[in-house]
């Protein structure tokens, strides 16, 4: 290491390593309401969790497609832990009363959580192929391109089926070669393979359990989010012109991996 590099390394501190000067300067309330700072921080932290989940799920898919059971299981455990924290974090936003939210709600303008590009990308990575969500983003913008790219490449379930095939299970070749831009439709042969995975109760079954844990927590997050929105705004329209709780409820009933739930007990 040369002198300049050594000096740079020596100057590295906790604050500079974490870019705290930048991080702690980006909470900028649009009103004088005391509670808006909390609202901003919670949502910014969510975006950081989404970023980490996207990072980890990319690695999970790589490890699944390489047949690496140990790394896949470890990464799944981390993803589940992150989502559990995301669910628990709702306790903080749940301290916001309707009157407190009303104190700064107008400051949000057209901004809405439905516009979170990272969350839409996360949904796509997990298998969602509803291209209507792209209408929230301008044609050709970076956020839309990332969501579209996620919709056009294999989902986590596609990678899991590749992994299952590598473990010796007879996943139909046409399923492994399917167009990933299309919604996944489970065939009877796929259900039979996944039922056999569950029945054998070996490492692939543990991976399937991890995926179900991920799915369960995502559904729990959606459900709790709905109840918080109902408590704060009732039947009123949501921010950004969405239909509030009704908008969220429409997304709550669909699991990320329906076929994995279907074969439980088969």
Query: What pLDDT does residue 112 have?
Result: 87
Answer yes or no: is 30 within a domain: no
What total of structural domains would you count in the chain?
1
Distance CA 106, CA 157 (A): 40
132 annotated ligand binder:
no
| DSSP letters spanning 104-127 | TGGGGTT--GGG-HHHHHHHHHTT
Answer yes or no: is 155 within a domain: yes
Residue 4, judged by CB atoms within 10 A of its CB (0-12, 13-18, 19+), counts as exposed
- Around Cβ 195, how many Cβ atoms within 10 Å? 15
80 annotated ligand binder:
no
231 annotated ligand binder:
no
Answer yes or no: is 1 within a domain: no
Question: CATH number, domain at 128?
Answer: 1.20.58.480
Answer yes or no: is 255 within a domain: yes
Answer yes or no: is 199 within a domain: yes
Answer yes or no: is 29 within a domain: no
Query: What pLDDT does residue 233 have?
Result: 82
247 annotated ligand binder:
no
239 annotated ligand binder:
yes
Answer yes or no: is 8 within a domain: no
pTM of the predicted structure, to 2 decimals? 0.90
Answer yes or no: is 16 within a domain: no
259 annotated ligand binder:
no
225 annotated ligand binder:
yes
pLDDT values of the chain reduced to their tens digit, one per residue, 266 residues:
565 565 566 789 999 999 999 999 999 999 999 999 999 999 999 999 999 999 999 999 999 999 999 999 999 999 999 999 999 999 999 999 999 999 999 999 989 888 999 999 999 999 999 999 999 999 999 999 999 999 999 999 999 999 999 999 999 999 999 999 999 999 999 999 999 999 999 999 999 999 999 999 999 999 999 999 888 887 665 555 454 445 555 555 689 999 999 999 77
* Domain around 65: 38-105+112-262
């Amino acid at each position: 290491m040369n002198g300049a590099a050594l000096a740079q390394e020596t100057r590295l501190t906790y604050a500079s390593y974490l870019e705290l000067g930048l991080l702690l300067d980006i909470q900028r309330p649009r009103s004088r309401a005391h509670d808006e700072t909390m609202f901003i921080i919670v949502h910014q932290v969510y975006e950081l969790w989404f970023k980490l989940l996207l990072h980890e799920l990319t690695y999970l898919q790589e490890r699944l497609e390489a047949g690496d059971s140990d790394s896949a299981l470890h990464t799944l455990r981390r993803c589940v832990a992150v989502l559990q924290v995301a669910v628990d974090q709702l306790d903080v936003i749940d301290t916001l009363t309707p009157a407190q939210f009303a104190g700064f709600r107008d400051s949000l303008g057209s901004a809405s959580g439905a516009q979170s590009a990272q969350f839409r990308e996360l949904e796509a990575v997990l298998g969602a192929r509803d291209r209507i969500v792209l209408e929230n983003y301008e044609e050709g913008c970076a956020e839309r391109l990332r969501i579209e790219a996620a919709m056009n490449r294999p989902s986590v379930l596609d990678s899991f089926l590749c992994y299952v095939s590598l473990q010796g299970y007879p996943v139909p070749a046409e399923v492994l070669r399917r167009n990933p831009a299309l919604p996944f439709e489970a065939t009877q042969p796929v259900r039979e393979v996944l039922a056999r995975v569950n029945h054998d109760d070996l490492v692939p079954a543990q991976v399937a359990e991890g995926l179900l844990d991920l799915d369960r927590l995502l559904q729990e997050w959606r459900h709790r989010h709905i109840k918080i929105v109902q408590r704060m705004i009732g039947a009123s329209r949501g921010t950004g012109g969405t239909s509030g709780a009704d908008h969220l409820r429409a997304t709550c009933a669909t699991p990320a991996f329906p076929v994995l739930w279907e074969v439980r007990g088969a």
